[in-house]
A = this chain, B = another copy of it.
């Protein structure tokens, strides 16, 4: 009763799946993946921990729903672009930016193959790959190559952000530290990585991401 009153006073609707997901996103954004616990969540919502289980199957379901909410928004916003290529780039950038803003989305995306958030991306990419003129027999392999590349970048960005948070450093500090490690590697055994240390320090994730998309798109062209 007291709790319910407090909830009403705050202007929140009674406990619902949507309000749970909304609060989960807030918690994930502010405290990272380790910040989402049923205890913290129920406290924010002014309920008991067990109540959440009436609306949500388990923590995996919750994370997936939170992830899907972000991905759905991002994909819906990414309709700009005149040509199929531009639309693919726009879709890629939309999810890149979404993960930049919500790093935990990248980690969750990697955990839920074939499920809804991933399907949204696949659909957006796949349509445009078809529009590009890629023949039916090559559609799957082409779309899934793009998808896997995007998921790969998503996962790394998520891990970078997660690592930076744990060590309370920002992204630049973190990449600087990695670059330092790389420049200390054995000069002959790790010649390539060593020579990339400088690049790592001042590269632009976003334009590198786009360059990768373009590389794959360039690989499609000759086959058409």
A218: chain B residues at CB < 8 Å are 218-220, 222-223
Task: Tell me if A53 is interfacial: C-beta within 8 Å of chain B.
Answer: no
Cross-chain contact of A219 among B155, B193, B208, B217 (Cβ < 8 A): B217
A214: chain B residues at CB < 8 Å are 219
In the complex, the count of this chain's copies comes to 2
Binds B, one of A3-11, A16-24, A77-85, A142-150: A142-150
On chain A, which size bracket covers the interface?
Answer: 35 or more
A156 and B185 alpha carbons, distance in the complex (Å): 30
A221 and B208 alpha carbons, distance in the complex (Å): 18
Which residue of chain B is the closest to A218 with respect to CB atoms?
B219
Which residue of chain B is the closest to A147 with respect to CB atoms?
B152
A143: chain B residues at CB < 8 Å are 192, 196
Interface residues of A (CB under 8 A from B): 107, 110-114, 119, 122-123, 126-127, 130, 139-145, 147-156, 158-160, 162-163, 175, 178, 181-182, 185, 189-193, 196, 199-200, 203, 208, 211-212, 214-223
Are A153 and B148 in touch, CB under 8 angstroms? yes
